[in-house]
Every structure is written in C-alpha cells, then in structure tokens.
Amino acid sequence: MRVTQCELLIVGAGPAGLSAAAVAAALGVDTLLLDEQQAPGGQIYRAITTTPVTDKRILGEDYWHGASLLEPFKASGARHEPGATVWSISRMTAPDPEEGFEVGYSVGGEARLLHARHILLATGAQERPFPIPGWTLPGVVTAGAAQILLKSAGLVPGERTVLAGCGPLLYLIAWQYLNAGVKIDRILETTPPGRLQKALPHVFDFLRSPYFGKGMKLVREVKAAIPIVKGVKGLKALGQDKLESVQYTVDGRTEMMAADQLMLHQGVVPNVNLSRAAGVEHDWNPAMDCWQPKVDAWGATSLPGIGIAGDGAGIAGARAAEYRGLLAALNAACVLGHIDAARRDQDARPYWKALERAVRGRAFFDALYKAPDEYRRPTGDTIVCRCEEVTADQVRQTVALGCSGPNQMKAFLRCGMGPCQGRFCGLTVSELIAEERGVPVPEIGYYRLRFPTKPLTLGELASLPQTEDSRQAVIRMKKRGGA
Amino acid sequence: MSDTRSAAVIIIGGGLHGSSTALHLARAGVSALVIEKNYVGRHASGVNAGGVRTLARHVAEIPLALASRELWYRIEELVDDDCGFEQHGQIRVAENEADVAALEERLRLMQSLGYTHETWMDADELRALIPRIAPTVLGGVAAREDAAADPYRTTLAFRRKAASLGARFLEGVRVHELRREAGQWAVSTSDGVYTAPIVVNCAGAWADRIAAQWDEPVPLQPISPMMLVTLRMDHFLDPVVIGTGRPLSFKQRANGTVLIGGGRRAWLDRDAESTELDFRELGAGARTVCDLFPHMKEAVVNRGWAGIEAAMPDEIPVIGASLKREGAFHAFGFSAHGFELGPIVGQIMSELVMQGSTAFPIAPFNIGRFSRT
C-alpha cells in the first residue's frame, strides 16, 4: 500500500479540472489530477483524445475546443491518474489532520490512500432526473448517456428514436446526430407555453452572447430536419419488457408513436455527492431548482482547504468552467503559499473578464428551459427511486406517516439507498416532500450523504493500511473529538 | 400559561427510550411531552444495527434483556407495527482457542447464574446453519431465540403509537435550562418554557448535560459506532453473527443487503452533531468479515454511517431516579447496546414515574455509582 502525497488534489478532468491543474502546476504547486475516465475531457469533452468520430463537423467546434486544454495541461507537469474513483475525503481521522486531508480512492479495483493539503473538486454536472412513467424501461436513456456513446464509441441509437425534454443540450444532441447522418424521428419539447415571456427580461444579454449566433444556427438546422412538437404534457414511455411506444398530450390531444429509443433530457444540475459528503454547505437555487455548494468568487467553500470549480459549483457551462478552474487554482496556489494575494489578483484579472463573457446569456436559457413542475414532481406509480423501485405515491403517502424529510424517507422506504446513492432521486424526493408538506424545498433539505460516495468492495477496504501510528493518531483524535 | 405548555411528564430526547417511555406512560393514561432537538430517531436509535440481542449481555442487563425480548415477541400488539422483526437467533463465533476458552467461561458463568438462553453450538452445527462461514471457525455460543429489527421503523412505530394514545412530540426544539419551582419543573427551550412536575432524561449522548444541571455529573463519553451496508447479495445468512475476540456484528437483511457493524468508532463532534467515518478502522472491520466469510471479499460496500450515542465507563446504562432532585429520572448511557432494551426500559421508566418503584433489578444502573469513587 502506497500513500501518495500532493499539495493540491484536483478531482475531475473536465474543463475546470484540466485548466486548474495546468495553471497550478505551472505556478509550482505539486498537483495531482484524479479522474474516473480513462482519458481526460470530462463529460463535455469526453474522449477528446480518443474519439473515433474524426469528422470535426459532427461534434462541432465547441467540442473540439476541448483539445486546446490538453497542451497546457501536459506541459504543466501536473500528475494525472486516470481511471481513479475517489470515494472518501477524511480530515479528522487522517493520521495528521493539521497536514490536510486523507483521500481514499480506487484504481482498477485496488484501494489507495493519498494525502493532500488542498482539494479542488471539479466533478461537474449530472443530468437532472426525469421521472416519467416507464423511464426505467430498456430503450429509455438520458440524452447525455446517448451523447457519451456517440463521442466515445461513435455509437448511434436504434431505428425509431424520439428525443424529449428541454434545455440547450436537447438541440445540440439532435444537431450532432443530424451531422452524423442519424435520423431522429421527433423532438418532443416539454417547455410550457409562456416561458419565453418569462425569459424575456434576460434576452438582451442573450443577444449579446456567443450563444446567440451559434445557437440560432443550430436550432435552425435542427428545425429544418426534424419534426418538433411543442408544449408536450403527460409524457409516458410504454412497453412490456422494453420501450415500444411514446405517449404524450399536446393541446388536449393524446398522441402515441412507436419508438425503439427515447432519449430524455431536462437540463443539468451540479453533481453534489462528493461536496455534500465532505460536509460543504449547500444552498437551494430557486431559479434552477437544484442544490449547489456555497462558494465565493474563487470557488472556496465553507470548509477550509476545499474548493469547487466548474458546473459542480453551480451550472454555468463548459467555457465558464475553464475560467472558474483557473481562478480556483490561482486561489489554491495563494493559500498554499506559492504566490501572494497581489499576484493572484493580478493574474486573475483577464479570467474574470473572460468568465463574465462566458456566462452572459445564461440567465435567458435558465428561465426559458426551467424544467416543468410536472416532470420534476411526479405522481401516481411513477418510479422515483430507480434502485429501490420506490414510487411517487409511496413517497407522498409516507410523508403522512410522519416522515418529514429525505433522511427519514430513506430509513422508511429505502429511497436513495441503492447504488446510485441518490443521484437519480434526491432532487425529486426533496421536492415531493416539500410539495406534500407545503413548505419550501430548502426547509426540507437533502439526503445526508456519507463516504464512500462510490461503491467499493469489502476486499478493497480490507486492504487499507492500519499502522500503529495511524491507530494512535485516531485514538488521540477521538479523545479530542469526544471531550 | 396555556395547557399546551404543560404536561404530566416531560421526556428529554426522542430516541427509542424516550419514545418507549412516552408510550408506556400513555398506555397508563399519563400524557407525556417528548422534547427532541432534531427529529425522532435522528441519531443512534434510528441508525443502529437493529440487534434484538440477549447474547453476551453484561450480567446486570440480562434480566431486563430477557424481559424486553418477551415484549419484542409481541411487538405488533404493543406498537401496531411489526418493526421489521425477524427471529433467526444470534451467534457469537470462536475464531481461535482463546475465543473458545472465553466462551466456555461465559457459559460457566451463565450456568452458575441459572441462565439458559446462551448455549454452545459446535462447528458442525454452525457450518450446517451457515455454510459460507470459514472452515476455521471452531463453533460458538448461540442465543437461538434472539432476533433483529429495523431500528428507525421501530423508533417511529413507538412514537406513532405513543402519539395515538395522547403523547406529544416536539421536534426541532432544544432544551436549555431546567429549574424546579413550587413542585414543578420549568424547562426552558429554544421554543420557550414548558412545565411538568416530572422530567425524564433520555437525552442519549447529551444526557450528561441534563444530569450536570441536577448536580449529578457523570463520566459519559459520546461515541459513534460505524456501520457499513453492502449492495444486495444472494441469501446466505439467517442469524446475526457477532465476534468474540474482535469487534463484529454481521447480518444479512431480508432484502439481501449485509449490515456490518460491531462498535468500531467514528470521529465525532457532538456539538456539531457530525461524525467522520474512519476508513482505516473500517478496513480492520472488513478484514474480520473477510476472514469469517471469505466470499465477502467481492461484496460491494455501498454506504457507511455512524450514529451518535452515549457510553458509560462500565458499559452499562444509567436507569433510575435522580438522587439529587425531586421528580427527576434518568435513562441513558446504553453504551452501544440499548436497542433491544427499548421496550422494557420504557415500561420501567413508566413504573418509576407513576409508582416510584419497579420490580426489575435496576440497582446496578443507579446514577450514584459514579459518585462513590
């Protein structure tokens, strides 16, 4: 068992993690980047070094921008450990808590420990759960998962494909498939009528943003090629053992169409499992209906020594993530004593400006593509927790038994206790309890998440070292903690 | 002062013991007010290993544990819920000769005291019962009538039944100061003052602070025993398996998940009510499991947690009347094995409150034991 040391640990090799690692290492910070994937890029630039989709027009220039992040990262001297899953961040039980964190992670089924003085979480976003009747049927996938297959393996969906939901990614993926020569039979847009009016106050920024020109072109091309149904309600996936058809209601009419594949997407939300388990404070973002860690402008959290950069600190997109990574890295270098505050502030200046440009126009999207209530707070026997097959009605009825929050719900129905550790149901369960109790979501809170945040085998755990030194340190800490 | 601000009995702490005390009082027509700083079952009561265990009890606890187990057998009559109760016995296994010697001595002690609930189980019978257990295991001591239940569901069931009989539960309310005025306790809380002639201290890991206000300081240590649970596995185990020389509590639940505990402790900050799992310690626990059940090496650990509770230096609880104050009672310090005792302790506390005495032998749990030295 080896215990690796580093000054700065960065978790996640998406745009935030890559740019942060590059700038930190270039400033002399001993930097280690751990990433779950075999190749850098994160989800947005997934397989950027390895994709078989070599025709650059298919995935588009925004995807290929990711390649430009790799050169500075490689040149910086930052260490990179691919295929590494972080499952714990300990401070109080670390052999020497004053010296920083002890991080547990696994590579290829082998558990390892490392010591880091500072941690930057760059774990990005995940797709918002989209609980509709039948969403657990084979053939129903998230649009993000389908996009990953396209990027990493060049795989495209089956015969009759329907894309449903809302958000900019919906059109992007349709456009990418279009470029790859794949026909999507229909796009079902769930954005309710009237949303555009709500988004209008933000339209001026949107018109001045880079999204405008590119976005308009993309939407135009998609609209020319694929039939689009707007204001879709009552979306259902139907089938015996797999998806056979998609049913929906539009203007009071119920329609049904045969389908082999239904790709669902209603936006992305911060991936909060690591930050929550680490004990970072989170806020409810009412504009985007999701939790996000409390961070300052540098990405510093409520916990000394832990920063967050990129979409994991609140959704702002890939280009913003890049600059947020750079800013968080400058701050880490400052905290670790490699540069002073004056140098940090000076170096940060161009990044602030770039960040401001990168997020311009996002408020328009956020308002326009807010996920509709119907698809965030399901009813009846629609499954909410996929792992434990808990339905919306079960959650709603259990509130009446005295289960007043998500943790009590967990103990009662086991929702959130399966292998996804709440990633697919956490938001839904909090919102359902809030609705049943008639109180705001922040009052309900979220699942209390604990390490290990990713499953590991008992054999891996058994291979962890327990030196006499560490044992003594632990006893010392317990005495101190228990006093 | 309005009626909602007073009660016959105020119970501090909405864990299993507080809820059970409220239930037994309510059954006797005495309506209690439970004041809980978080929510009912928030810490150890809701997240313990769920063992309904008389096996390997401290001798002083055995009469209570056996009486409590009788209540567990009829738990549905008591609380209108089966509490996830499953009776498959508990076995304390011997990994080596030293363990065998310790267990033989234990059985001699049980015999000398006239107890028959613990019996020897030889290696052949053990392997027939648990084919997956390591062939090196030399046998064990079994309490064949022991069982297990679902802790949070149980605590909630006690609370619900108590409430249906008239008990009240205040959640999210913290007790600050207790003052005795004209035969009444004035309990000041984060939600104002509540009054009652009698107060029961069921405050778990925070109970020493109440006791200190009554001039009865106790050497309570807040502890946080860690638990792990695996993903679902094919059924391989019915009884609960516990360790002899090494700490372990091991059981497979009806849904196939395997629960691993045994008292290895997390770091804890009881004021922040936060704990941090100690993975090196959990690693040691994992080694014990893999030694006893080699196929568990491939088991996938899905979650871990640690509840907060109180341990006393002699590892038995404090149960009984305050020696320094009128109308004041204690039930705390169950030292990581209070779950099974929940049903009977509520009954004992209700007897103490209403009659001033109980037929159960609670002298060893007297709070005065800490002031003698």
Closest to B231 (Cβ–Cβ): which among A455, A470, A474? A455
Q: How many helices (H) and strands (E) does chain B have?
A: 10, 23
**Ranges A64-78, A400-414, B314-328, most confident:** B314-328
The predicted pLDDT at position A200 comes to 81
CA distance A381 to chain B (A): 21
Share of chain A above pLDDT 90, in %: 68
Chain B residue numbers touching A452 (CB-CB < 8 A): 301-304
* Nearest-angstrom CA–CA distance, B104 and B286: 27
Q: B42 to chain A: nearest residue by CA?
A: A408
Q: What is the DSSP letter of B61?
A: G
Task: Look at B277 and A477 and tell me if their CB atoms are within 8 Å.
Answer: no
CB proximity list for B341: less than 8 A, separation 6 or greater: B17, B61, B64, B65, B68, B317, B334
Indicate the residue of A402, A417, A470 with minimum beta-carbon distance to B280.
A470
Distance of CA B281 to the CA centre of its chain: 22
Q: Nearest CB to A459: which of B223, B298, B302?
A: B298
Q: Which amino acid is at A220?
A: R
Tokens read off for A271: 């991936």
Give residues with Cβ within 8 angstroms of B98, minimum separation 6.
B245
How far does CA B302 lie from the centroid of its chain? 24
pLDDT-derived band at A481 (thresholds 50, 70, 90) equals very low
The pLDDT tens digits for A308-352 are 999 999 999 999 999 999 999 999 999 999 999 999 999 999 999
Chain A nearest CA to B226, separation (Å)? 11
With CB atoms and an 8 Å threshold, state whether A457 touches B297.
yes
Structure confidence at residue A479 (pLDDT): 43
Residue B365, pLDDT > 70, answer yes
Distance from CA of A462 to the nearest CA of B (A): 4
Supply the pLDDT for residue B210: 98
Q: What average pLDDT does this structure show over B1-11?
A: 85
In chain A, the residue whose alpha carbon lies closest to the alpha carbon of B284 is: A462
pLDDT (tens digit, 9 = 90+) per residue, A434-474?
999 999 999 999 999 999 999 999 999 999 887 554 455 44
Spatial separation of the C-alpha atoms in residues B265 and A478, rounded to whole Å: 8
* Residues of B with Cβ-Cβ distance to A92 under 8 angstroms: 267, 269, 276
Using DSSP's 3-state secondary structure scheme, residue B367 falls into helix
Give the pLDDT band (50/70/90) at residue A194: confident
pLDDT of A159 reads 80
CB contact under 8 A, B297 and A459: yes
State mean pLDDT over A46-63.
86
Find the CB nearest B268 among A411, A464, A482: A482
Looking at the predicted structure, is the pLDDT value of residue A482 above 60?
no
Nearest CA in chain A to B286: A462
Mean pLDDT of chain A: 91
Query: Lowest-confidence range among A396-405, B85-94, B158-167, B323-332?
Result: A396-405
Q: How confident is the model at residue A58 (pLDDT cuts 50, 70, 90)?
A: confident
Residue A98 pLDDT: 86
3-state SS, residue B316:
coil
Answer whether A418 sits within 8 Å of B152, measured CB to CB.
no
- Please judge whether A457 and B300 are an interchain contact, meaning their C-beta atoms are less than 8 angstroms apart: yes
Q: Per residue, what are the HEC states of chain A? A: CCEEEEEEEEECCCHHHHHHHHHHHHCCCCEEEECCCCCCCCCCCCCCCCCCCCCHHHHCHHHHHHHHHHHHHHHHCCEEECCEEEEEEECCCCCCHHHCEEEEEEECCEEEEEEEEEEEECCCEEECCCCCCCCCCCCEEEHHHHHHHHHHHCCCCCCCEEEEEECHHHHHHHHHHHHCCCCCCEEEECCCCCHHHHHHHHHHHHHCCHHHHHHHHHHHHHHHHCCEECCCEEEEEECCCCCCEEEEEECCEEEEEECCEEEEEECEEECCHHHHHHCCCEEEECCCCEEEECCCCCCECCCCCEEECHHHHCCCCHHHHHHHHHHHHHHHHHHCCCCCHHHHHHHHHHHHHHHHHHHCCHHHHHHHCCCCHHHHCCCCCCEEECCCCEEHHHHHHHHHCCCCCHHHHHHHHCCCCCCCCCCCCHHHHHHHHHHHHCCCHHHHCCCCCCCCCCCEEHHHHHCCCCCHHHHHHHHHHHHHHHC
Which member of B46, B266, B303 has the closest CB to residue A417? B303
Out of A279, A451, A477, closest to residue B304 by CB: A451
In the predicted structure, residue A478 carries a pLDDT above the cut 50: no
Number of CB atoms found within 10 A of residue A25's CB: 25
| Model confidence, pTM | 0.92
| Calpha distance A28→A351 (Å, rounded) | 20
B34, B18 contact by CB (below 8 A): yes
Question: What DSSP state is assigned to residue B356?
Answer: S
Q: Which of B222, B267, B287 sits opposite A93 (nearest CB)?
A: B267
Please answer yes or no on whether A452 and B303 come within 8 Å at the CB atom: yes
How far is A183 from A181, CA to CA, in rounded Å? 7
Point out which residues pair with A104 in neighbouring strands.
Answer: A88, A113
Place of tokens 């009605």: A393
Distance CA B233, CA B213 (A): 49
- Between the two ends of chain A, the Cα-to-Cα distance in Å is 33
Radius of gyration of chain A (CA): 23
| C-beta of residue A189 within 8 angstroms of C-beta of residue A167 | no
Write the residue in B280, B287, B298 that is nearest to A457 by C-beta. Answer: B298
Closest-CA distance of chain A to residue B46, Å: 8
Between CA A337 and CA A272 the distance in angstroms is 28
Residue B368 predicted with pLDDT over 90: yes
Q: Which structure tokens are listed for A375?
A: 């698809």
As a whole number of angstroms, the distance between CA B119 and CA B141 comes to 5
pLDDT in tens, A218-229: 888 999 999 999
Peptide bond into A452 cis (omega under 30): yes
Return the pLDDT at A468. Answer: 52
Q: Which residues of A touch B228 (CB under 8 A)?
A: 461
Alpha carbon distance A310, A288 (integer Å): 16
Find, in chain A, the residue whose alpha carbon is nearest to that of B305. A450
Number of alpha carbons in the 13 Å side-chain half-sphere of residue B348: 26
Q: How confident is the model at residue A477 (pLDDT cuts 50, 70, 90)?
A: very low
State the average pLDDT over residues B257-270: 94
- The answer to whether the complex's ipTM is over 0.85 is yes
User: For A145-159, B329-343, B346-360, which range has the lowest pLDDT when averaged over its residues?
Assistant: A145-159
- In this prediction, residue A2 has a pLDDT band, given cuts at 50, 70 and 90, of low
| A282-293 as b/e: b if 16+ CB within 10 A | bebbeebbbbbb
> Is A450 close to B255, i.e. CB distance below 8 A?
no
Using pLDDT thresholds of 50, 70 and 90, give the confidence band for residue A48.
confident
Which residues in chain A touch residue B298, judged by CB atoms under 8 angstroms apart? Answer: 457-459
Picking from A404, A458, A478, the nearest residue to B265 by CB comes out as A478
Beta-carbon separation of A419 and B289 below 8 A:
no
Interface of A with B (CB under 8 A): 88, 90-93, 104, 279, 401-405, 408, 411-412, 414, 417-419, 421, 450-452, 455-459, 461-466, 470-471, 474, 477-478, 481-482
B221: left (phi over 0), alpha (psi -120 to 50) or beta: beta
CA distance B155 to A309: 41
Mean pLDDT over residues B144-150, rounded?
Answer: 97
Classified as helix, coil or strand, B86 is strand
Contact present, A104 and A451 (Cβ < 8 Å): yes
The residue of B47, B209, B303, B308 whose CB has the most chain A CBs within 10 angstroms, and thus the best one to mutate to test that interface, is B303
- Chain A residues in contact with B279 by the CB 8 A cut-off are 88, 90, 93, 104, 451, 461, 464
Contacts of B229 in chain A (CB under 8 A): 417
Judge whether residue B300 has pLDDT over 60. yes
| A48 conformational bin, left if phi > 0, alpha if psi -120 to 50, beta if neither | alpha
Q: Which amino acid is at A95?
A: P
Q: Do A88 and B279 touch (CB under 8 A)?
A: yes
Per-residue pLDDT at A191 exceeds 80: yes
Query: Which 3 state secondary structure label does DSSP give B2?
Result: coil
Reported as a pLDDT band with limits 50, 70 and 90, residue B48 is very high
> What mean pLDDT comes out for the span B308-314?
97
**Facing residue for A459 by CB, picked from B39, B222, B290:** B290
How many interchain CB pairs under 8 A, A with B? 133
pLDDT at B2 over 70: no
**Structure confidence at residue B372 as a pLDDT band (50, 70, 90):** low
Please compute the mean of the pLDDT values over residues B273-289 and round it to a whole number.
94
| Residues A4-41: tens digit of each pLDDT | 899 999 999 999 999 999 999 999 999 999 999 999 99
Chain B residues whose CB is inside 8 A of the A405 CB are: 39
Say if the Cβ atoms of A90 and B41 lie within 8 Å.
no
Is B46–A450 a contact, with Cβ atoms under 8 angstroms apart?
no
**What CA–CA distances, in Å, run from A73 to A69, A80, A240, A293, A351?**
7, 9, 49, 26, 17
**pLDDT reported for residue A476:** 45
Residue of A nearest to B40 (CA): A408
Amino acid B352: pLDDT: 98
Position A483 confidence tier, pLDDT thresholds 50, 70, 90: very low
**Chain B residues closer than 8 Å to A88 by CB:** 277, 279
pLDDT, position A480: 40
Residues in chain A within 8 Å Cβ distance of B153: 411-412
Mind listing the pLDDT tens digit for each residue in B180-221? 999 999 999 999 999 999 999 999 999 999 999 999 999 999
CB-CB: which of A104, A408, A461 is closest to B286? A461
| Cβ contact B31:B25 at 8 Å | yes
